[in-house]
Amino acid sequence: MPEFSQSARRMRTSEIRDLMKHAANPALVSFAGGMPNNELFPTDDIDEVYASLPIELKRQGFQYGPTAGFPPLLDELGTYLRAKGLPVDSNKLIVTTGSLQAINVTAKVFVDPDDVVLTEYPTFIGAAAAFQSYQANAVGTPMDADGVVPEELERAYREHPNAKFLYLTPYFHNPAGVLYSAERKAFVKEFVAKNDILLLEDDPYGELYFHDEDVPLTVPLKADPEIEGKIAYVGSFSKILGPGMRLGWALVPPDIYPKYELAKQSLDACSSTFTQVLASEFLRQGKLPGYLARLREVYHRRMRAMLDAMNETMPEEASWVEPRGGFYVWIELPERVDALDVLKTSIENGAVFVVGKAFDPKGERNNCLRLAYSHTPEDRLADGVRIVADAIKRAL
């Protein structure tokens, strides 16, 4: 056998992944999966959409398509993103195989071994793994309830002035559950404007707000004409239609777009035409707004049930920010507590979640846990929370 490449040698498997095998056990209450519950998928809508397609379009769905995306989907996505205020006409849109591919491609086109990428701490595990696969040094800067902490980001940038890009998820963060405040967005804007750095703005959850008054805060930074030229914006159908579609997108400045297209070409030539046909018709037939309204209501209700149970059962040493949208609650425990101990007890007693160190780019800090309410049946939320709370009390 040949020797593994340097990047393969750096890939981390982990005890977390082994423990996560339990997550599939239906007897456990699972707060682990960052995904919708199967019952929520719009199967009837998609049945209708497919049945309505002319045979030529059905056939096209089985065919290869352009690397940039199935043209009717690019049109529909353009309309959808324009309505969010995004500068679709002065930028270039590319359909990707999930937004994780858009994140991966961003790393592929910018990162050389040992380059620094600035992220939040905590950060999305898939993004950190993508950065590390190109041997990036991913440096996590702490967040608080309003987003990334300004002094911490300034300090990290002073230490790493050649950082290639800054990766942020400002709208219902995974795993922190945080929505950036207006002040914090203003800080990020100023930071991007004054520094020579690209912002990779990741927005898979922004539509899943629970309070209409938050809508202005979910307007992407990429919508701001003063900084849009320094932002690669990525989004996804995974949380608003279904992760099995494997469809995301990147909206990027035209000067960097050609490299995105070339990088994607070598990865998979094109994303699934079949699901692109379905997604473009789902949008064209106007089915998204009604479906989103339903998702917001269901996730809001689940979050409330979860938070009520947490308020009743969690010890005072546990703290969290109440989510205003999205899928996740991030629980912080005293630094001396190892979330892996909490997880082991919790699994023995019937509930599973993801430990904090999965979301630390360095895989070290482990006094936090992520509970997702997106996938857990409503009638099992309270029981599951009680099991986790008891496990935390034992670990304190």
Ligand X SMILES: Cc1ncc(COP(=O)(O)O)c(C=O)c1O
**Could you tell me the smallest distance in angstroms from the CB atom of residue 105 to ligand X?**
12
Cα of 203 vs its chain's centroid, Å: 7
Q: Applying CB under 6 A, does 99 fall inside the site for ligand X?
A: yes
Three-state secondary-structure class, residue 199: strand
**Among the listed residues 66, 72, 78, 126, the single contact to ligand X using CB under 6 A:** 126
**Could you tell me the smallest distance in angstroms from the CB atom of residue 166 to ligand X?**
14
CA distance 165 to 179: 21
Tokens at residue 33, please? 């999966």
**Among the listed residues 29, 93, 100, 277, the single contact to ligand X using CB under 6 A:** 100
Query: Is the alpha carbon torsion for 270, 273, 278, 281 positive or negative?
Result: positive
Q: Applying CB under 6 A, does 373 fall inside the site for ligand X?
A: no
- DSSP string over 131-161: HHHTT-EEEEEEEETTEE-HHHHHHHHHH-T
Nearer to ligand X, 268 or 317 (CB): 268
| Of 238, 216, 231, residue with least CA distance to 168 | 231
Q: Applying CB under 6 A, does 147 fall inside the site for ligand X?
A: no
8 A C-beta contact, residue 347 and residue 22 = yes
DSSP 221: G
Q: Applying CB under 6 A, does 271 fall inside the site for ligand X?
A: no
Residue type, 199: L
The residue with its CB nearest to ligand X is 98
Report CA-CA distances (Å) from 181 to 88, 214, 216, 227, 293: 25, 9, 10, 18, 23
- Contact range with ligand X by CB under 6 A, out of 14-22, 96-104, 340-348, 371-379: 96-104
Q: Applying CB under 6 A, does 124 fall inside the site for ligand X?
A: yes
Letter string b/e over residues 172-205, b meaning 16 or more CB atoms within 10 A of that residue's CB: bbbbbbbbbeeebbebbeebbeebebbbbbbbbb
**Could you tell me the smallest distance in angstroms from the CB atom of residue 345 to ligand X?**
26
Residue type, 239: K
- Contact range with ligand X by CB under 6 A, out of 11-19, 98-106, 189-197, 308-316: 98-106
Residue type, 175: P
**Could you tell me the smallest distance in angstroms from the CB atom of residue 108 to ligand X?**
15
Among positions 168-227, residues that touch ligand X (CB under 6 A) are 169, 174, 202, 204
**Could you tell me the smallest distance in angstroms from the CB atom of residue 148 to ligand X?**
14
Nearer to ligand X, 201 or 337 (CB): 201
Q: Compute how many residues bind ligand X; rule: CB under 6 A.
A: 14
**Could you tell me the smallest distance in angstroms from the CB atom of residue 8 to ligand X?**
21
Nearer to ligand X, 100 or 263 (CB): 100
Nearer to ligand X, 191 or 328 (CB): 328
Among positions 223-252, residues that touch ligand X (CB under 6 A) are 236, 238, 243, 248
Nearer to ligand X, 34 or 384 (CB): 34
Q: Applying CB under 6 A, does 98 fall inside the site for ligand X?
A: yes
Among positions 21-40, residues that touch ligand X (CB under 6 A) are 34
CA distance 16 to 20: 6
Backbone φ, ψ for residue 371 (5° rounding)? -110, 125
8 A C-beta contact, residue 332 and residue 368 = yes
- Contact range with ligand X by CB under 6 A, out of 97-105, 147-155, 251-259, 307-315: 97-105
Nearer to ligand X, 87 or 170 (CB): 170
Nearer to ligand X, 28 or 130 (CB): 130
Q: Applying CB under 6 A, does 132 fall inside the site for ligand X?
A: no
**Could you tell me the smallest distance in angstroms from the CB atom of residue 268 to ligand X?**
13
Three-state secondary-structure class, residue 101: helix
Q: Which helix (H) or strand (E) holds 372?
A: strand 368-372
| Of 134, 100, 135, 138, residue with least CA distance to 121 | 138
Residue numbers of the site for ligand X (CB under 6 A)? 34, 98-100, 124, 126, 169, 174, 202, 204, 236, 238, 243, 248
